Amino acid sequence: MNSQRFFKIIRQRISSVTSFCKSFKQGRFPRAPHKPKESGNGKYLSFLIKFLFLSTILYLLWIPFASAYFSLILKITAVYFEIVGIEISSNPSQDFIYSQGIRSCIPPFVALMLATLEKKTLPRINTQKIFNKAYRLYFPSKIFLKGVSIGVLILFIFHVILQISYVYLLLPSKGELYSVFVIFLSGTLRVALPFLLWFALMYKQLFSLSGKGTDKSVYICPFCGAEKIGILDHIKDAHGEEVLKSEEVKKLV
C-alpha cells in the first residue's frame, strides 16, 4: 500500500468519525446514508423468514380465540336461516368448534401484512439537552391498520358465507354443480383469499420490496432512517425541498 492511498483512507476514516460526532450532537445517529441497500433475493428470503416466524406466533396467540370466533360464525349462520325461514338443528361438539376456529385464515393474513410492514418514524425529537441521546419511536402506518381491519372483516364475512354454504349443501335437491362450488370455496378460495387480500392491500409495498418499476437500490434516509426507493422524492416530501441542498443529501447522491 503506497503512502498516498494510506493517507486517503485515514482522511476517509476521520471524515466518518466527524460526521458521526456531528450527528450525535444534533440528537440523531446516521445509518450509513451514503451506502445503498441493494434489493434482490435477500429481501425475499428475509420476508419469508419473517412470515414463517410471525405465522407461528400469531397461530399460538389465536388459540384462545379460535372457539369463540367459530361460535360467533355459527350464531350468525343460525340467525340467517331463521330469517329465511329454514329450520336447522345443530349441536356441534367443542372439539369441532375449536378445530374449525383454529383453521381460520386470519393469522397468516395478518402475518403477511406484518412481514410487509414498513417502519414509519415519529417526528424526530431534539435530544441535545437530554444527555445527547437519540430516541426513535416506530408505529404502524394508518394504511397498514386500515388494511388489516378491511382484510379481517372480509375474511370473517367469507367464513360466514362458507358456513352457510355448508348448511345448504346438506339440504336436499342440491346438484353436483353446487357441490363443486362449495369445494372451490372451502378449498381453493379459502387458501388463496388471504394472499389475494394481502396483494390487493399492500401492492405498493410489494413493488417496493421487489424494486421493480423504480430505482435499483433502496436508500436509507439520513434524516428519519426510513428505507425508501426514490429517496430524493421522499426527502423532498417528508423533510422539505430546502433540505436537498444539505451535506447529508450530497453524501447520499
Segments making up each domain of the chain, as ranges: 36-209, 214-253
Taking only the tens place, the pLDDT of each residue in 44-96 is: 788 889 999 999 999 999 999 999 999 999 999 999 999 988 888 778 888 88
Taking only the tens place, the pLDDT of each residue in 145-178 is: 888 999 999 999 999 999 999 888 888 777 788 8
Taking only the tens place, the pLDDT of each residue in 203-252 is: 766 665 555 444 445 667 777 767 666 677 778 777 777 777 777 777 66
pLDDT band at 2 (very low <50, low <70, confident <90, very high): low
Q: How far is 159 from 101, CA to CA, in rounded Å?
A: 10
Specify the pTM: 0.60
Alpha helices in the chain (DSSP H): 3-25, 41-83, 94-102, 106-116, 142-170, 176-184, 190-210, 231-239, 247-252
pLDDT band at 35 (very low <50, low <70, confident <90, very high): very low
| Contact call for residues 201 and 147 (beta carbons, < 8 A) | yes
What is the structure's pLDDT at 120? 47
Cell readout for 46 is: 428475509
Q: How far is 241 from 49, CA to CA, in rounded Å?
A: 38
Cβ neighbours, 10 Å, residue 29: 12
